[in-house]
């Protein structure tokens, strides 16, 4: 079955949760795409969705210039689900009334739902579990002896306005203390609206509600599985590439490694991978990745030790953006030289992910513009290469699932993100071989201890930063005057926002003791307690 034959269209009105809607739908094994709210009726028709979801958004439907969708989408005969702003907009466009409220309702709420509505059929209410602090386990448990008649559902609200009067043809299918219209439906036209957010974890029955929309209302089948994705992707790569040669740059990160393994599955040794050692990698990084891909997957890998070249170019550079540009430009040069050695290379495989290609504004977080990233656009033009981007449709967690389905080891799949400019943007000030060596050792201890404490996969990123500050210390009877290392550990969903990890004191203590004892040139370790925003994850 074609995995794209049944798809859901999500129209984005700028909600911070839009991406979550997509992820929940994909988790239900239904393919979906996010597009801006104003893509126009023709594009919506040619997309041929099985259902349309209107996301939430920060505006009020009464704001000047508030985002509006073409009313004709309600006449396409395609089911529509409006979430929060999406529901208010639906109500307003179809002749109902929306009330501007003075106070926002933000947080958990209870709603009584009508279990005769398709949206709420066969739902077993999940109740919050009261746990002792520090005890693991699920936050919510289903109460199978309670029906939705008897128990209200816990949901997450985040809205200012609310629907005051339903449009003609609609009925209320949920109410709360705060509103008679927490959800609405027009069963005949298959148009639904929910005031709350079924896509967030704080709506524990949200998956079932979205599932009801997908399966009962839209009639989708759960056909978007990794196995079906692999079959389709391999067929597409074969078709596109034919007998052509493909080159793929691998960095040690998950995305490029999964791309390489997938393309290799499709075309075998017509793929050559290039691994550029730029001198600012983590300790043993290059060896580990190379040996795994070579030994377990028998791939052709050209490893280029260009560390000398990179460090020479970086000499005297202190400005973070200049470091990035220098490394980016040198990378492209080295990569080009290597790629030219491969006969008849016609394609470049790249691990571009779905969040990189979503057109909508709400995904372009500040980092996208504040910090520049690698750009291989020039390379494509110069070498006349065509792009192969088999992960373009996937979210990061789907890439991990794909890697697992391809038999890749956890060591690669669970790797924390690591920036292209590597340790260079974690050495504040000039990057020298000596400072790289100090940071590499300190960083390696941080990772060892974080892994030993079982925290590595629970944390988004954990690493050491070498500061351009020397401080006084005492070792034995001697005064020292050495470098300071900062420890950084953050949790995050997508790198756009982040919070610092409340690491156990014992783990911090072990890291600090080991770094100061084992790394020559460091006599002080400090912990970074800044979240993003207003700070960033990396220090440069």
CB of 419 to ligand XMP, least distance (A): 3
Comparison of 169 and 328: residue with beta carbon closer to ligand XMP: 328
Between CA 532 and CA 280 the distance in angstroms is 24
Comparison of 264 and 532: residue with beta carbon closer to ligand XMP: 532
Q: 273 catalytic, yes or no?
A: no
CB of 516 to ligand XMP, least distance (A): 25
CB of 532 to ligand XMP, least distance (A): 5
Comparison of 240 and 392: residue with beta carbon closer to ligand XMP: 392
Q: Please answer whether residues 204 and 156 qualify as being in contact, where contact means their C-beta atoms are separated by less than 8 angstroms.
A: no
Comparison of 58 and 328: residue with beta carbon closer to ligand XMP: 328
Q: Which letter does DSSP use for residue 118 in this model?
A: G
What is the distance, to the nearest Å, from the Cα of residue 399 to the centroid of all Cα atoms in its chain?
10
Element (H, E) at 163: strand 162-165
Q: 84 catalytic, yes or no?
A: yes
CA-closest candidate to residue 416, choices 449, 461, 451: 461
CB of 114 to ligand XMP, least distance (A): 44
CB of 399 to ligand XMP, least distance (A): 15
What is the distance, to the nearest Å, from the Cα of residue 465 to the centroid of all Cα atoms in its chain?
24
Catalytic residue among 32, 84, 218, 248: 84
Catalytic residue among 33, 185, 199, 441: 199
Give per-residue burial for 44-75: e unless 16+ CB within 10 Å, then b. beeeebbbbbbbbbebbbeeeebbebbeebbe
What is the chain's Cα-based Rg?
A: 26
Between CA 380 and CA 205 the distance in angstroms is 47
> 80-83 and 126-128 as β-strands: parallel, antiparallel, unpaired?
unpaired
- Report the 10 Å Cβ neighbour count for 441: 20
Comparison of 219 and 533: residue with beta carbon closer to ligand XMP: 533
Comparison of 223 and 531: residue with beta carbon closer to ligand XMP: 531
Neighbour-count burial of 165, counting CB atoms closer than 10 A to its CB (0-12 exposed, 13-18 middle, 19+ buried): middle
Between CA 532 and CA 524 the distance in angstroms is 24
Peptide bond preceding 533 in cis form (omega within 30 of 0):
yes
- DSSP codes, 14-48: S-TTHHHHHHHHHHTT-EEEEEETTS-HHHHHHH-
> By the criterion CB under 6 A, which residues form the site for ligand XMP?
324, 367, 371, 373, 417, 419-421, 461, 495, 532, 536-538
Comparison of 92 and 396: residue with beta carbon closer to ligand XMP: 396
CB of 259 to ligand XMP, least distance (A): 15
CA-closest candidate to residue 536, choices 499, 511, 503: 499
Catalytic residue among 32, 33, 35, 197: 197
CB of 394 to ligand XMP, least distance (A): 17
Comparison of 155 and 425: residue with beta carbon closer to ligand XMP: 425
Comparison of 8 and 490: residue with beta carbon closer to ligand XMP: 490
Between CA 446 and CA 438 the distance in angstroms is 13
- DSSP codes, 375-398: --HHHHHHHTPEEE-TTTT--HHH
CB of 526 to ligand XMP, least distance (A): 18
- Residue 153: strand, helix, or coil: strand
CB of 318 to ligand XMP, least distance (A): 16
Comparison of 491 and 536: residue with beta carbon closer to ligand XMP: 536
Q: Which letter does DSSP use for residue 532 in this model?
A: B
Crossing angle for the helix pair 396-405 and 226-241, to the nearest 10 degrees? 90
- Residue 314: strand, helix, or coil: helix
User: Distance between terminal CA atoms of the chain?
Assistant: 47
Q: Please answer whether residues 71 and 147 qualify as being in contact, where contact means their C-beta atoms are separated by less than 8 angstroms.
A: no
Crossing angle for the helix pair 505-518 and 433-452, to the nearest 10 degrees? 150
Q: 239 catalytic, yes or no?
A: no
CB of 531 to ligand XMP, least distance (A): 10
- Active site residue ranges: 84, 197, 199
């Amino acid at each position: 079955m074609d995995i794209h034959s049944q798809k859901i269209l999500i129209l984005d009105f700028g909600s911070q949760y839009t991406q979550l809607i997509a992820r929940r739908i994909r988790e239900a094994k239904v393919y979906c795409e996010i597009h801006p709210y104003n893509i126009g009726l023709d594009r919506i028709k040619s997309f041929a969705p099985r259902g349309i979801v209107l996301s939430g958004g920060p505006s009020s439907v009464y704001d000047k210039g508030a985002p509006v969708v073409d009313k004709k989408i309600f006449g396409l005969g395609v089911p529509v689900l409006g979430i929060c702003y999406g529901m208010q907009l639906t109500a307003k466009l179809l002749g109902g009334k929306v009330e501007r409220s003075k106070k926002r309702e933000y947080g958990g709420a209870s709603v009584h739902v009508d279990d005769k509505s398709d949206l709420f059929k066969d739902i077993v209410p999940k109740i919050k579990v009261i746990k002792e602090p520090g005890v693991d386990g699920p936050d919510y448990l289903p109460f199978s002896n309670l029906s939705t008649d008897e128990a209200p559902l816990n949901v997450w609200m985040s809205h200012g306005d609310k629907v005051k009067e339903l449009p003609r043809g609609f009925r209320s299918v949920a109410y709360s203390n705060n509103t008679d219209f927490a959800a609405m439906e027009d069963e005949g036209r298959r148009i639904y609206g929910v005031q709350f957010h079924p896509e967030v974890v704080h709506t524990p029955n949200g998956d079932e509600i979205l599932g009801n929309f997908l399966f009962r209302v839209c009639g989708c089948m759960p056909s978007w599985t990794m196995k079906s994705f692999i079959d389709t992707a391999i067929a597409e790569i074969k078709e596109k590439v034919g007998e052509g040669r493909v080159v793929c740059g691998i960095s040690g990160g998950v995305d490029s490694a999964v791309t390489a393994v997938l393309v290799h599955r499709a075309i075998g040794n017509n793929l050559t991978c290039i691994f550029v050692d730029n001198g600012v990698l983590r300790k043993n990084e290059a060896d580990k990745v190379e040996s795994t891909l070579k030994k377990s997957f028998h791939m052709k890998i050209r490893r280029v030790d260009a560390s000398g070249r990179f460090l020479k170019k970086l000499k005297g550079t202190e400005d973070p953006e200049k470091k990035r540009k220098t490394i980016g430009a040198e990378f492209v040069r080295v990569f080009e030289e290597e790629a030219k050695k491969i006969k008849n290379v016609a394609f470049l495989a790249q691990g571009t992910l779905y969040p990189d290609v979503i057109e909508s504004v709400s995904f372009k977080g500040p980092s996208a513009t504040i910090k520049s990233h690698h750009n291989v656009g020039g390379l494509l033009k110069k070498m006349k290469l065509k792009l192969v981007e088999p992960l373009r449709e996937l979210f990061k967690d789907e890439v991990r699932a794909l890697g697992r389905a391809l038999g890749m080891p956890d060591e690669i799949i669970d790797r924390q993100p690591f920036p292209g400019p590597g340790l260079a943007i974690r050495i504040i000030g000039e990057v020298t071989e000596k400072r790289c060596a100090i940071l590499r050792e300190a960083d390696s201890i941080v990772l060892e201890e974080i892994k030993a404490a079982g925290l590595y996969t629970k944390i988004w990123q954990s690493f050491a930063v070498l500061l351009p500050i020397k401080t006084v210390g005492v070792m034995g009877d001697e005064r020292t005057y050495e470098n300071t290392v900062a420890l950084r550990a953050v949790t995050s969903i997508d790198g756009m926002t982040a919070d610092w990890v409340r690491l156990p004191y014992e783990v911090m203590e072990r890291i600090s003791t080991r770094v100061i004892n084992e790394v020559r040139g460091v006599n002080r370790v400090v912990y970074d307690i800044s979240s993003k925003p207003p700070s960033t994850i990396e220090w440069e």
